[in-house]
Amino acid sequence: MSTIEVVNSTVIEEDENTSLEELLLQSDLLAGMVRADGKVLEVENTVATEYFEQKNSEKSELVKSHYNYVIQDENTDARISTVMSFMSKLDREDKYKLLRCLSAVAVCDGHLDKKELDLIKQFAKAMDIDPNGI
């Protein structure tokens, strides 16, 4: 299964309860994952933005624009912990879907950097997901 297929199978379904705020926070988190290893590769951006394109709503374009802005912001890495605290209100299924997307972004360049793995574990811990089961 390709990385894009993994993202497509893990997308959080468009839901009236998914607020724009939650989607923007998810884009911050994905931008943090893309930046984690110090390189921003086109394949990583493609996987991250595909996550939002699959939502097929008017919110998607705004969220992708936000992501494109955030990915260039040097302060993205500093606010990841804050973003994660807001993500804790997602339901369990959505937490797992986002974790799978973060993992797909982390490995899509063919290499799992220690900083990427650390970010995945940090997210899992913040979301009360057993990191040993990852």
Query: Is residue 17 very low, low, confident or very high in pLDDT (cuts 50, 70, 90)?
Result: low
pTM above 0.85, yes or no: no
Q: What backbone phi and psi angles, to 5 degrees, belong to 71? A: -60, -25
What is the reported pLDDT for 90?
84
- Number of neighbouring beta carbons within 10 Å of residue 56: 10
Top pLDDT among 78 and 28 is at 28
pLDDT in tens, 26-65: 899 999 999 998 889 999 999 888 887 776 567 888 889 9
User: 113 pLDDT exceeds 50?
Assistant: yes
Nearest CA to 84 among 23, 35, 24, 127? 127
Mean pLDDT of 1-23: 58
- Which domains does the chain carry? 3-8+19-133 (1.10.3680.10)
C-alpha span between 44 and 50 (Å, rounded): 10
Of 105, 103, 104, 124, the C-alpha closest to 40 is 105
Q: For 104-126, what is the mean pLDDT?
A: 91
First-residue to last-residue Cα distance in the chain: 18
